[in-house]
Amino acid sequence: MLTESVINLCGLHHQTSVVKSARSCLSPIRMPGSLPAVCEAAWPKDVGIIAMEVYFPSQYVEQAELEEFDGVGAGKYTVGLGQARMGFCSDREDIGSLCLTVVQRLMERSGLSYESVGRLEVGTETIIDKSKSTKTVLMQLFEESGNTDVEGVDTTNACYGGTAALFNAVNWVESSSWDGRYALVVAGDIAVYATGSARPTGGAGAVAMLVGPNAPLAFERGLRGTHMQHAYDFYKPDMVSEYPVVDGKLSIQCYLSALDRCYSVYRNKIHAQWQREGLDKRCSLEDFGFMVFHSPYCKLVQKSLARLMLNDFLCHHSPDTQSGPFSGLEAFRDVKIEDTYFDRDVEKAFMKASSEAFESKTKASLLISNQNGNMYTPSVYGCLASVLAQHTPQQLAGQRIGVFSYGSGFAATLYSIKVTQDATPGSALDKLVSSLCDLQARLDSRKKVSPDVFAQNMKLREETHHLANYIPQGSVEELFPGTWYLTRVDEKHRRQYVRRSMNDDRPLEAGLITSCITAEVCFSNWCLFHMILM
């Protein structure tokens, strides 16, 4: 047994129920947002994201090499799409294993007890069962704690499911249903395409987010612009295949039109809020410190930021076209925004006009997207994590982060997050940023494989998708330590998982671990984690 002082050093706070002694409210090691219900009489404040964890596969293919392998022109994927590398999964990983890995990693690195979670939601479009939710698979991690009082199930609508799940979690904390515990949101997907022009826009990964009050990333209440409409731009009607049906041109038009409409609704709402506060101003890109987008591919994100500047320009009563960001744009004053989705002149002019804004507000968000590809539901949250990983707490403090989430079919929301002003060492923001600062190192630690090996893996996944009585063939040794993986699918399609040991010696079976496996392993991980940060 570790001594109490070592456990305190490790940052553990085993909150066994929401009615635990009020003494826990005074604990200096308590995570922000973990205030038990008996200690919080007022409406929860600053509800938002307290902690984040990102998982991506341990292998990738270079997009430049994929261009040559596919016989397309040099730069088609790297310049035209803005993609450098694409992560992918072997048949050893599925949506269940991705989510198991990212959740356990978040819980261990945060030093949290599974008893402290009261809601767990999963957003995914990687469906392996038409009835059983991925969330139920994750409940294996809660068995040792005995906590079965956990609300929430899966949410599905293409890449928007993670955002819908996140909104559900925030709404729960802000509602009369909240019991004082954390909400945990998981967005995860495996994005794969049939051989052809869409294949290089794939990727895979998962993001887990801890939600509660007093958060360093607080959702701005009432500031959401949503647009939902029916379209067949991207959908998956074939239940025996992982591959979608994609109308590429329509998909881009739906994405950009949703962005226009969400931005318009958001600006109207924030303008009304400012009027109530006595402020006479209009919302524009200048009001966002950072702007992150769902990223099917990086070049579309750059075009999307230019699109917001186009909206600002067309809505401005008298834009200065002689100097400043709108300089030289007078020829586009009378264009109709719905006619500009594929107008190359408009696109080129506003991408140039918004280049500085892109560099300062959005480029950093594309780290994971550029290096790992499109993760579907986690995509926009991988972009958010990328911003946090590449800036100091002082650079982030007080900033407004705009977030645009899009899912085909289609559903979209633009909302904003306000970063806390407290950037002091040891603050909630400092801990959040520190926990993500190893993203680049983790991306660099992956194994590069040839396009031929990548194609073989895609063929294997295609041939074995949804097979019963199947044992995966992929290498376990290639997985990151601590990764959950699939061991078999039995004759009744029941899936069995184990976890690769953090020490690379033996797998750790589901249901046989605590929130930190053992106190000794937790302490070891904590020490290693903080050595990395030093």
Burial group, residue 42, by CB count within 10 angstroms (0-12, 13-18, 19+): exposed
Q: Catalytic pick from 53, 67, 125, 242? A: 125
Query: For residues 203 and 294, what is the distance between their CA atoms, to the nearest angstrom?
Result: 13
**Residue 3 CA: distances (Å) to CA of 45, 110, 494:** 35, 19, 41
DSSP string, 268-287: HHHHHHHHHTT------GGG
Contact 402, 262 (CB under 8 A): no
Question: Which letter, b or e, does each residue of 133-152 get, where b requires 16 or more Cβ atoms within 10 Å of its Cβ?
Answer: bbbebbbbbbeebebeebbb
254 is catalytic: no
Query: For residues 364 and 401, what is the distance between their CA atoms, to the nearest angstrom?
Result: 13
Which of 497, 493, 496 is closest to 485 using CA atoms? 497
Any bridge partners for residue 496, and if so which?
488
Contact 427, 420 (CB under 8 A): yes
Query: For residues 220 and 426, what is the distance between their CA atoms, to the nearest angstrom?
Result: 24
Which of 355, 357, 356, 379 is closest to 368 using CA atoms? 379
477 is catalytic: no
Instruction: State both tokens at 518.
Output: 């053992």
Residues contributing to the annotated binding site for CoA: 251, 299, 303
- What is the CB neighbour count within 10 angstroms for residue 421? 12
Q: Catalytic pick from 13, 227, 294, 391? A: 294
294 is catalytic: yes
Burial group, residue 476, by CB count within 10 angstroms (0-12, 13-18, 19+): middle
Burial group, residue 160, by CB count within 10 angstroms (0-12, 13-18, 19+): buried
Q: Catalytic pick from 89, 159, 383, 516? A: 159
Q: Look at the block and give the residue holding tokens 């645009």.
A: 404
Residues contributing to the annotated binding site: 251, 299, 303
331: amino acid identity, one letter = A
Could you list the active site residues?
125, 159, 294
